[in-house]
Amino acid sequence: MSTTAKVLAIVLAGGEGSRLSPLTQERSKPSVPFGGRYRIVDFVLSNFINSHVYSIYLLVQYKSQSLIEHVRKGWGLSPQITGHFVTVVPPQMRGGADWFQGTSDAVYQNLNLIHKHRPDLVAVFGADHIYRMDLRPMISFHQKMRADVSVASLPVPLTEVSAFGIIETDEKGRISRFQEKPETAKPMPGNKNRAFASMGNYLFNRDALVDALEEAHRRGEKDFGKDVIPRLLGDKDVYAYDFSSNQVPGVKAYEEHAYWRDVGSIRAYWHAHQDLLGSQPRFDLFNPFWPIRSSHYDGPTARIITGRVEDSSIGAGAIIFGGHIKKSIVRREVVIEDDVELEGCIIMDYVMIKRGSRLRNVIVDRYNIIDENTQIGFDRKADEANYYVDEASDLVVVSKGRRHLDPVY
């Protein structure tokens, strides 16, 4: 990375996350809790900070209060150092009465921030994914290729291309075609079994971005992946950066190389949590060389009075009085009474599960009390009558509760 390159990060964190409902009934997708102590947004923010990119604007929109509070508590950078900030930006409606209409429109409505900082490069990243990424190799690639735009790209099997925006490139990585969720695709250079998929993370030269957004506004275009990037292929140097080549310090040999997950559905969200478990997890959250940061917690460590815990993660302040917990994520200040059985569950903060309850493949959102001898995940009809059941996975979701005198978010 050039020592003279000034990078401004713009994180698109306004996603409604309808496919993650009911977890997104009262919060935006980037604000959804993940793992034992994080929110989804913490991953992209940590990647920027660990990559020494400290000027970060977070564009929010839908149900943003939870996200705003989380960033305020956990992401205050030094105000004494110019250019060190994580600032939340709601829709300003500077050009009219419209909210953000799409990804490119969101950045267009905040062009004043780019003009104010006058960076050399602008990194426009999403806030919806679980991954580690060092941005510096992508910047070096971008500068080496003299690119106007670089698109972070993940090699995916040809059998899965219909789930992604697919990129075709030449041998040097210059993009010649962009297709949104095609049935078939041309293999990437050097690998006949895989194709490049866009990760929705872009690196722009400042002037190229400003020109592209102004032209998009004139044309009525709203989205980077659907509109702006395909249009730029004809007259700009647009390159695919191969994410599989990205090397992050501290990643262990047993982890899945170039781990990246879009946790935009209940099924994907649950499976990504399972990837955190085991003696050799696909994605190991313990990496002191590339930490995932989050809000600070002043409470105590977890206490396990008795019981059996297998292949699970227990969050700070949790109290386990007994029972059997297997392949589950138990978050902060959860209380689990005696004779409770959990298997394949995600139990979010401030939940109480009373004695005798049995839960299998269940996500319990915050502030819930599960009454004695409750069974969830064993009878489809009973579950549908009382909870949300995801059609694609049969996972059961217990929506956010309403306990009195708990934190507002």
Q: Is 181 annotated as a binding residue?
A: yes
**Planar angle of CA 104, 76, 136, nearest 5 degrees:** 55
CA distance linking residue 44 with residue 12, whole number of Å: 10
Q: Is 250 annotated as a binding residue?
A: no
Over the range 79-92, which residues count as b (16 or more CB within 10 Å of their CB) and which as e? eeeeeeebebbebe
Cβ 203 vs Cβ 150: under 8 Å = yes
140 CB burial (10 A radius; 0-12, 13-18, 19+): middle
CA distance linking residue 328 with residue 348, whole number of Å: 11
Please state the three-class secondary structure of the chain as a single string.
CCCCCCEEEEEECCCCCHHHCCCCCCCCHHHCEECCCEECHHHHHHHHHHCCCCEEEEECCCCCHHHHHHHHHHCCCCCCCCCCEEEEECCCCCCCCCCCCCHHHHHHCCHHHHHHHCCCEEEEEECCEEECCCHHHHHHHHHHCCCCEEEEEEEEEHHHHHHCEEEEECCCCEEEEEEECCCCCCCECCECCEEEEEEEEEEEEHHHHHHHHHHHHHHCCCCHHHHHHHHHCCCCCEEEEEHHHCCCCCCCCCCCCCCEEECCCHHHHHHHHHCCCCCCCCCCCCCCCCCCCCCCCCCCCCEECCCEEECCEECCCCEECCCEEECCEECCCCEECCCCEEECCEECCCCEECCCCEEECEEECCCCEECCCCEECCCHHHHHHHCEECCCCCCEEECCCCCCCCCCC
Binding-site sequence positions: 165, 180-181, 198
Binding-site sequence positions for alpha-D-glucose 1-phosphate: 165, 180-181, 198
